[in-house]
Structure 1
Amino acid sequence: MIRVFGGPHRYLQGPGALAELAALVPMYGKRPFVVLDVALADTLRARLQAMLRDVVETIRFGVFSGECTAAGIDAMAQAAGAAQSDLVLGIGGGKAIDTAKGLRIIRGGALIVVPTVASNDAPTSRLVVLYREDHALSEVRMMPTNPDAVVVDSAIIAAAPRRFFVAGIGDALSKKFEVEQCERAGGLNFYQARPTALAVMIADQCYRTLRAHALDALEAVARKTPNEALERVVEATILSSGLAFESGGLSIAHALTRGFSAISALQGALHGEQVAFGLLVQLCLERRAPAFIAELKAFYRQAGLPVGLSGLGLVADKDQAIRTIAQRTVADAPYVQQFQTRVDAQQLAQAIAQADRGPADEPGHGPGTGR
């Protein structure tokens, strides 16, 4: 079986990295169309116009607000077509970035991604996750290549809300365990090929970096000022995590997000919060030592990650919800079987219940609490 490793053509990170767009954009186009998160429109639009006006012919903006949907992407494509754009910039959170990726699929040309939060590893990948207006997952589309460039201004990341940064840690922590399971099960990565040894190594290093530096990085987020720990964690949550999942493959922790999307009470949880709990479920299925899971849960509490379903927003009717999550995951998630043994809905439901027991129900451990 062929092994494949892929990633973005260029990755830039550091305080003030946004200014690198003045040199970078002309390398890829002269008529950029900027998908800009509505939360940033007032603060970044004028800055981008001043930065790029001498190096491009025109610059047009499409303000993103809400959900990444097929209809939203089509509307952006119409606006970009009218502007005759030859380059897409996606600036904002994961859903704004995915909208820019969807636009790139339709329009072609180059894509530069500028994440303004480190909440997940979407910036480096080819994947576009679409939702319906009711926030349930709809489909996954794929760009033919990874982004041309990813620009991460760590000063902007440090100033973003803590909850997004914590969610990025939760999303990235799982990669070591998911890539290892995919590799052992003979599974495929997102290039429909076998994982490379490099992808497995990156996933392991990602986990080690987070365990060593995440808490110090969160202190930098509290001060809204980057430090070396924050730089290491941002690289792990955006670059290493992205390379690991796309070239290494996913397993149970991410498969569960399909099931979670079917429960309305869980739709307020961020992707990384869901994945963090999904990792606990996967570790239960792996029959990891209780002491190992307890130690990881202790780290979760220190960082502010949820250790149970109540931390994700589900406090009632858990038994029925767990059955629904397990059934939907097994039915809809293609990588649920990238695991060392075959997993059915009953086994998955038992693991969800096991992961949810104990300290998960203690008050004060919900997402974003910082405990």
Structure 2
Amino acid sequence: MDKIIISPSKYVQGENAIESIASYVLTLGQNPIAIADEFVTGLVGEKVKGSFAAENTPVTMELFNGECSRKEIERVLDIVATQKNDVIVGIGGGKTLDTAKAVAFYSKIPVVVVPTIASTDAPTSALAVIYTPEGEFSEYLMFPQNPNMVIMDTAVIAKAPVRLLVAGMGDALSTYFEARANMTSGKATMAGGAPTRSAQVLAKLCYETILEDGVKAKIAAENGVSTKALENVIEANTYLSGIGFESSGLAGAHAIHNGLTKLEECHHLYHGEKVAFGTLVQLVLENAAQEEIDTVLDFCRSVGLPTNLFDMGVTEINHDKLREVAQGSTAEGETIHNMPFPVTEDSVYAALLTAHQIGLNK
């Protein structure tokens, strides 16, 4: 199997970078459309329009309806086809960005993703997570290439809700452990080949960065300011985690996340909050050293990530529902089968209950 590492063509990170967005986008197309939800449009819409106006180029601002579903993708596709847009810009959170990537893929036009939060590693990846209109996980949509460009405005992200930054740390937390499992098993990565040493190093650096700077970054975000620690965590949450997971592989944590979407009580949680607990479940599943589990637990506690099912909104342990979570986590084609040992519904069910109790007692 060939070793493969993939990444966006260009990654831009800086304070007030969004004010220069037009100069970046216009290298890819001259008839842009930007999608953003109502809140994000209110937050940065005028800056985006102003940047394009300064370049004497109009931009269509289209409201995103909130869910990365087939229905929403098709709606935006119709608009792009009608207007003959030649580049799409996604501005906002992971679901907006994934929708923009999907539209770009089907329309065969370039895509620029502009996160206003650092809550997932979705921006850099060559995949989108598709949900049902009701918010349940449906499928992964794989693309032949990564986004043409990622633009991170640290000034905007510093003022975003702190919980979103912390959720990004939860998503990034899994990167190293899933990469390690995938390297051991020798399974193909999301990039379609064996992991490179470069990707493994990035995955480890991601973990080390959030352990070192996570609490400091959270404090900076609570005060709405960008510091070195916050800049480092933004890069870890987005670029290091993105390249690390995609070119090193997913394993147990993200499969557990997908299973947890079956629990209605967890629908209010962000992706990374569920992934953080999924990381603990993966560590229990592989019988990781207690010291390692304690380090992850202590980190989660320090920044406010869930460490047990009660933290996630579950009010009572329903074993039938947990069986459904385990069943969803181990469905055919799920990434949990990249673990370096056979994983069954029973073993995940046991790990869920054990991780919950460990997190409850810590």
Q: TM-score normalized by structure 1?
A: 0.94
Cross-structure match for 1:108: 108
Q: Is the contact made by 1:122 and 1:242 (CA closer than 8 Å) also made in structure 2?
A: yes
Alignment partner of 1:310: what SS?
A: coil
Segments of 5+ residues of structure 2 without an aligned counterpart are none
Q: Is the contact made by 2:71 and 2:133 (CA closer than 8 Å) also made in structure 1?
A: no
Q: CA deviation at 1:313?
A: 1.6
Q: Is the contact made by 2:19 and 2:47 (CA closer than 8 Å) also made in structure 1?
A: no
Q: Is the contact made by 1:112 and 1:148 (CA closer than 8 Å) also made in structure 2?
A: yes
Alignment partner of 2:114: what SS?
A: strand
Q: CA deviation at 1:67?
A: 1.1
C-alpha root-mean-square deviation of aligned residues, in Å? 1.4
Identical aligned residues as a percent: 33
Alpha-carbon deviations, 1:24-55, whole Å to 9, x = none?
Answer: 11111111010112211223222211110243
Paired residue type of 1:240 = L
Cross-structure match for 2:259: 259
Cross-structure match for 2:90: 90
Cross-structure match for 1:369: none
Mean Cα displacement is larger for which, 10-19 or 165-174? 10-19
Cross-structure match for 1:168: 168
Q: How does 1:302-341 map to 2 (within 5 A)?
A: 302-341=302-341
Q: Is the contact made by 2:327 and 2:345 (CA closer than 8 Å) also made in structure 1?
A: yes
Cross-structure match for 1:6: 6
Is 1:22 matched with 2:9? no
Q: How many Å separate the matches in 1 of 2:83 and 2:58?
A: 8
Aligned residues: 362
Alignment partner of 2:62: what SS?
A: strand
Cross-structure match for 1:219: 219
Q: CA deviation at 1:210?
A: 0.7
Q: Is the contact made by 2:172 and 2:241 (CA closer than 8 Å) also made in structure 1?
A: yes
> Would the alpha carbon gap of residues 90 and 273 (structure 1) be closer, same or farther in structure 2, given more than 3 Å must change?
same
Alpha-carbon deviations, 1:221-258, whole Å to 9, x = none?
Answer: 01100000001110000000000111110100011122
Q: Is the contact made by 1:60 and 1:83 (CA closer than 8 Å) also made in structure 2?
A: no
Q: How many Å separate the matches in 1 of 2:56 and 2:112?
A: 15
Q: CA deviation at 1:128?
A: 1.0
Mean Cα displacement is larger for which, 287-296 or 116-125? 287-296
Is 1:78 matched with 2:78? yes
Cross-structure match for 2:156: 156
Segments of 5+ residues of structure 1 without an aligned counterpart are 363-371
Is 1:33 matched with 2:37? no
Q: How many Å separate the matches in 1 of 2:5 and 2:299?
A: 31
Paired residue type of 1:272 = G
Cross-structure match for 1:52: 52
Alpha-carbon deviations, 1:84-136, whole Å to 9, x = none?
Answer: 10000000000111111111112111111100011100000111111112211
Q: TM-score normalized by structure 2?
A: 0.97
Q: Is the contact made by 2:18 and 2:47 (CA closer than 8 Å) also made in structure 1?
A: no
Q: Is the contact made by 1:90 and 1:96 (CA closer than 8 Å) also made in structure 2?
A: yes
Q: CA deviation at 1:56?
A: 5.5
Q: How does 1:239-318 map to 2 (within 5 A)?
A: 239-318=239-318
Paired residue type of 1:111 = V
Cross-structure match for 2:134: 134
Q: How many Å separate the matches in 2 of 1:113 and 1:215?
A: 27
Q: How many Å separate the matches in 2 of 1:74 and 1:29?
A: 21
Paired residue type of 2:10 = R
Alignment partner of 2:61: what SS?
A: strand
Q: How many Å separate the matches in 2 of 1:47 and 1:191?
A: 35
Q: How many Å separate the matches in 1 of 2:191 and 2:56?
A: 34
Paired residue type of 1:311 = D
Paired residue type of 1:34 = A
Cross-structure match for 1:188: 188
Q: CA deviation at 1:360?
A: 2.5
> Would the alpha carbon gap of residues 56 and 245 (structure 1) be closer, same or farther in structure 2, given more than 3 Å must change?
farther
Mean Cα displacement is larger for which, 294-303 or 66-75? 294-303
Alignment partner of 1:139: what SS?
A: strand
Q: How many Å separate the matches in 1 of 2:134 and 2:48?
A: 33
Where has structure 1 moved over 6 Å in runs of 4 or more?
Answer: none
Mean Cα displacement is larger for which, 225-234 or 12-21? 12-21
Alignment partner of 1:106: what SS?
A: helix
Is 1:63 matched with 2:63? yes
Q: How many Å separate the matches in 1 of 2:183 and 2:317?
A: 36
Q: How many Å separate the matches in 2 of 1:141 and 1:297?
A: 32
Q: CA deviation at 1:291?
A: 3.5
Q: CA deviation at 1:80?
A: 1.5
Q: Is the contact made by 1:105 and 1:143 (CA closer than 8 Å) also made in structure 2?
A: yes
> Would the alpha carbon gap of residues 56 and 86 (structure 1) be closer, same or farther in structure 2, given more than 3 Å must change?
farther
Q: Is the contact made by 1:30 and 1:56 (CA closer than 8 Å) also made in structure 2?
A: no
Q: How many Å separate the matches in 2 of 1:186 and 1:215?
A: 34
Alignment partner of 2:232: what SS?
A: helix
Q: Is the contact made by 1:172 and 1:206 (CA closer than 8 Å) also made in structure 2?
A: yes
Q: How many Å separate the matches in 2 of 1:55 and 1:354?
A: 57
Alignment partner of 2:336: what SS?
A: coil
Mean Cα displacement is larger for which, 61-70 or 241-250? 61-70
Alignment partner of 1:71: what SS?
A: helix
Q: Is the contact made by 2:20 and 2:51 (CA closer than 8 Å) also made in structure 1?
A: no
